[in-house]
Structure formats: structure tokens, C-alpha cells
Amino acid sequence: MQLSSATDVIHAPSPEEPSTGIDAVICGLITHLETYSDDDFDSQWMHLTNAEVEGLVIAVIRHLITTMNGKLLSGYLLESRQEESDVIDG
């Protein structure tokens, strides 16, 4: 992947230019929450409403924001760069 300008690194997509990657991940998170089940939480048993799923998505994203740190971000960036390199090399 090649950036078209230095500002591509700094700015997220504008609302007028949606990101299919971000949309896909958020849709994946919604699906994951709608079908999630473990010993402490079973979404099918709880019969979640759309508003409750939306609230859970918001809570998960807020939790990520508040627990974010440089070590976590550098790990994600390294993983992203390795995946990108594998696509180019593969």
C-alpha cells in the first residue's frame, strides 16, 4: 500500500469518504456481540435488542480508547505492517 500524501498518515477518512475497512470491522464487532457466548455472557439467552447491541459496541470502543497505550498501538502497527508486507511479497 502506498500513501498518496503525508496527510494520509495523519487524517482518518472523512464522513463523506467512508472507509470500507472500518465499516467491515465495526460490522464484524456487531455480529460478534450479537452471537457472543461464554460462561459469563450469552447474547442469545439475553435476547439483546438493537439498542443494547449498539450500547455494547459503544462500551467496547470506549473501553479500548481508555485502555489504549503506546505498547498496544505499536503492536497493532507492527502487525498491520507485517500483514501488508505479506500481501506485497505473497
Which domain range does residue 50 map to?
7-89
* Assigned domain for 33 exists: yes
Residue, of 10 and 79, whose pLDDT is higher: 79
* Assigned domain for 1 exists: no
Residue 37: strand pairing partners: 42
pLDDT in tens, 59-85: 999 999 999 999 999 999 999 999 988
Query: Per-residue b/e over 26-65, b at no fewer than 16 CB within 10 Å?
Result: eeeeeeebeeeeeeeeebeeeebeeeebeebeeeeeeeee
**What is the model's pTM?**
0.71
**Do residues 23 and 47 touch, judged by C-beta distance below 8 A?**
no
**Structurally, how many domains does the chain consist of?**
1
* Assigned domain for 2 exists: no
**Do residues 73 and 81 touch, judged by C-beta distance below 8 A?**
no
Residue with cell 469518504: 17
The whole-number average pLDDT for the span 10-17 is 64
* Assigned domain for 45 exists: yes
